[in-house]
Amino acid sequence: MTDSTDTQSTPTDLEKAAAEAGALTTRILELRDAYYERDTSLVSDAEYDAMMHRLEQLEHFFPELQGQDSPTQTVGGRAQATLFDPVTHVERMLSLDNVFSADELRIWSERVERASGRSVHYLSELKIDGLAINLRYEKGRLVSAATRGDGVVGEDVTENVAAITSIPNRLSGSGHPDRVEVRGEIFFPVEAFRELNEQQLAAGEKVFANPRNAASGSLRQKAEGKSPAALKLMKNRLSRLQMLVHGIGAWPNPPVAAQSEVYDLLSGWGLPTSTHYRVFEDIDGVIEFIQYYGEHRASVEHEIDGIVVKVDELALHDELGATSRAPRWATAFKYPPEQVNTKLLNIVVSVGRTGRATPFAQVEPVRVAGSTVSQATLHNQDVVKAKGVLIGDTVVLRKAGDVIPEILGPVVELRDGTERAFVMPELCPSCDTPLRPAKEGDKDLRCPNSRSCPAQVRGRVEHVGSRGALDVEGLGEVAAAALTQPLEPTRPPLADHNGDVSEAGLFSMTIADLFPVTVTVFDFETGLPKVTEDGEVKRVTPFRRRRSKKDGPFDPTSETFTGDEHFVPSKGALELLDNLAASKTKPLWRILVALNIRHVGPVAARALATYFGSLDAIRAATRDQLAETEGVGGIIADAVIDWFEVDWHQQIIEEWTKAGVQFSTPGHPGPGAAGDEGGVLAGLTVVATGSLEGFTREGAQEAIIAAGGKAASSVSKKTDYVAAGPGAGSKLAKAEELGLRIIDAEQFALLVTQGPDALA
């Protein structure tokens, strides 16, 4: 680069960077203030981390931008605590640097090992998502508890800490120095947080969106000026908090050489330490530990937002030292966020197959835990009220692993007055029937028009096609909506001559029924129909397409002219009818599930099908006979009897029978017979884990049950066989530990067809 380009470009780049860094700094300081002073997250942690990361980058390229009080050089909170008396820590409390990938972690460890001049041991532990606390013990007595503040001066919360039972007032054991500072994290265990929110909900109070902020808010409450009732509530919240210690501050010359040994000492003094830590000889072990907990976050009793990696050798802590913000001998690997902020665009009410009217949040689509979320259930109007969300709010949304997304609450501080409250409709949004509770006192409202409420029929039709029922490819949400959506001028294929929709006609539909189906396309954000450029409501025809030259000779039985256009059935229409036809003779239990009998899912349906062998035998059974059938019981027996008593259910059976649906198991000898005889696996419990060649996951379970065995989902002493294929994880390990009989896919195939003797 020549001098002339340097003088031309550098000032502009620097200016640009300075402007960006300035804006970022202002924003980060605002966010910190809200977070540490008002226990509120105005943005998600991931967004905050991204801003910090960007600021670090800018300062890296333009070191002149890095002032002493840049957020990258300072610890979170504020020096002058506004609520509590100040406490000066004997030794500074630092934050931690972050890494976000295995590669970044490797770079960190290489730097550490280079600076140490040797390989080191790494202590890996869970990063507890709570708030930092500093406990000072003098002569074994707790004299002060303080928040981190700006790292030098924190807030005195000694009084409130007294209500946290896991924090001892006196250290037990011996060997504690005259003065020691212990550092830890205060948090709500997941279960305690759930209970707290349940209690808030029951009391008609607002639920808390975030355990970290709830913990911080609970600890940083002032007793003064509170009514006796409010004081009781405060004590109650404090008593649910817990603490785990993860370090020491001031302690000259500790009698141990490693951080992991510090934990043994601390726990010997009666302080709670975490059991989730391990020491590794290299960074690969740490990365496996990170992967493991990334997949098992939900199994930990408290929230975690990452893994803290510390050099285990204490001598190296002094050698490596610290920056003004964080130690060089530790770093935090941050997991991708499970909580994000997004906009609540609307709350719409949907009616499901059982008639329950459920408010749904439609949110601005947002990436979280590996998928894009655009809606979340809000359960019922009481939950909407308790969460305190208004339409138009910025809300906190959580999605953990495979768990369904949940709206945790609003960010009240971001309201601008345009938000509006949700009003639960009085009429069913699908059929205008007045909604009512199923029984007195029920919070959930239902549409009582179960027979022909289009939303309920749609839900039931979708259920017929679902994997746990008849597993009909092509009969999913969209097809179910298309078959039931009543639209002028076409009648939905599942409507009878009165125009009432019902699943009774599902198996007798023909191409001619499907052909005219026109479906309105709804706009997700508004819930209103989409409009074309010409101002027409947008409609699609999923079961037909325009004829093309490739379609061969004209077939008058399945083709049609509409206006001047020529249509043929779509591939989807033909497949749907073929698949429906093929499912008429599927196993009886699948047909039973497809009937949408309350409480009768695959497990109960299998039990009924195995014992009775036909729908007629089930109908003829007494309540006692049903209830006594293994795997059935009283509640299901009642639900089955109730189901048969409804007239229009008879119509479904009649219509389906006429269409060729098989309501019995060919060759079944009659009630009880199959049960007595048992299968080759009668009395045996088998667990299938990993991928077993030749079997799907569900197929393996079915094979066990079909052979009369019990398909268990977890391994215990009572398990007789564990069939394990590639990918078998903890179940296989447990089976080995218990010394159980472990078999491979080939042996499994023998076992379920010929029984245990085949393996001898």
Ligand X SMILES: NC(=O)c1ccc[n+]([C@@H]2O[C@H](COP(=O)([O-])OP(=O)(O)OC[C@H]3O[C@@H](n4cnc5c(N)ncnc54)[C@H](O)[C@@H]3O)[C@@H](O)[C@H]2O)c1
Give the interface with ligand X as residue ranges (CB under 6 A): 31-32, 35, 41-45, 48-49, 76, 95-96, 125, 127-128, 132, 148, 185, 246-247, 308, 332
Closest CA to 238 of 301, 161, 135: 161
**Three-state DSSP class for residue 457:** helix
Q: Indicate the residue among 39 and 513 with the shorter CB distance to ligand X.
A: 39
- Least Cβ distance, residue 31 to ligand X (angstroms): 4
Sequence-separated (6 or more) residues with CB below 8 Å from residue 184 = 132, 133, 135, 243, 244, 245, 246, 247, 271, 272
Q: Angle at CA 170, nearest 5°, toward 169 and 176?
A: 135
- Least Cβ distance, residue 269 to ligand X (angstroms): 18
| H/E element, 618 | helix 615-620
Question: How far, in Å, CA of 709 to CA of 678, rounded?
Answer: 9
Specify the DSSP class assigned to residue 405.
P
Residue 310: other Cβ atoms inside 10 A: 27
State how beta strands 544-546 and 565-569 pair: antiparallel
- Three-state SS annotation for 190-247: HHHHHHHHHHHHHCCCCCCCCHHHHHHHHHCCCCCCCCHHHHHHHHHHHHHCEEEEEE
**Three-state DSSP class for residue 133:** strand
- Least Cβ distance, residue 177 to ligand X (angstroms): 21
731 is known as an active-site residue: no
Q: Indicate the residue among 46 and 577 with the shorter CB distance to ligand X.
A: 46
Question: How far, in Å, CA of 563 to CA of 295, rounded?
Answer: 57
- Least Cβ distance, residue 166 to ligand X (angstroms): 15
Question: How far, in Å, CA of 554 to CA of 318, rounded?
Answer: 86
Q: Angle at CA 197, nearest 5°, toward 193 and 200?
A: 140
Given the residues 16, 127, 385, 530, select the one marked as catalytic.
127
| H/E element, 348 | strand 339-351
- Least Cβ distance, residue 127 to ligand X (angstroms): 4
Q: Indicate the residue among 293 and 589 with the shorter CB distance to ligand X.
A: 293
Question: How far, in Å, CA of 405 to CA of 364, rounded?
Answer: 13
- Least Cβ distance, residue 529 to ligand X (angstroms): 38
Q: How many residues are listed for the chain in this entry?
A: 760
Question: How far, in Å, CA of 324 to CA of 248, rounded?
Answer: 18
Cis peptide before 254 (omega within 30 of 0): no
- Least Cβ distance, residue 677 to ligand X (angstroms): 58
Place of tokens 């009878």: 496
Q: Indicate the residue among 148 and 446 with the shorter CB distance to ligand X.
A: 148
Q: Indicate the residue among 308 and 428 with the shorter CB distance to ligand X.
A: 308
CB 105 within 8 A of CB 331: yes
Q: Indicate the residue among 47 and 444 with the shorter CB distance to ligand X.
A: 47
Q: Indicate the residue among 45 and 406 with the shorter CB distance to ligand X.
A: 45
- Three-state SS annotation for 693-721: CCCCHHHHHHHHHHCCCEECCCCCCCCCE
Q: How far apart are the first and last CA of the chain?
A: 79
Q: Indicate the residue among 44 and 380 with the shorter CB distance to ligand X.
A: 44
- Least Cβ distance, residue 26 to ligand X (angstroms): 14
DSSP string, 738-751: HT-EEE-HHHHHHH
- Least Cβ distance, residue 739 to ligand X (angstroms): 36
Q: Indicate the residue among 146 and 618 with the shorter CB distance to ligand X.
A: 146
- Least Cβ distance, residue 45 to ligand X (angstroms): 3
Residue 715 phi/psi, 5° resolution? -90, 130
Q: Angle at CA 72, nearest 5°, toward 66 and 77?
A: 130
Q: Indicate the residue among 258 and 661 with the shorter CB distance to ligand X.
A: 258
Q: Is 625 exposed, middle or buried (0-12, 13-18, 19+ CB in 10 A)?
A: middle
Closest CB to ligand X: residue number: 132
**Three-state DSSP class for residue 372:** strand
Catalytic residues: 127
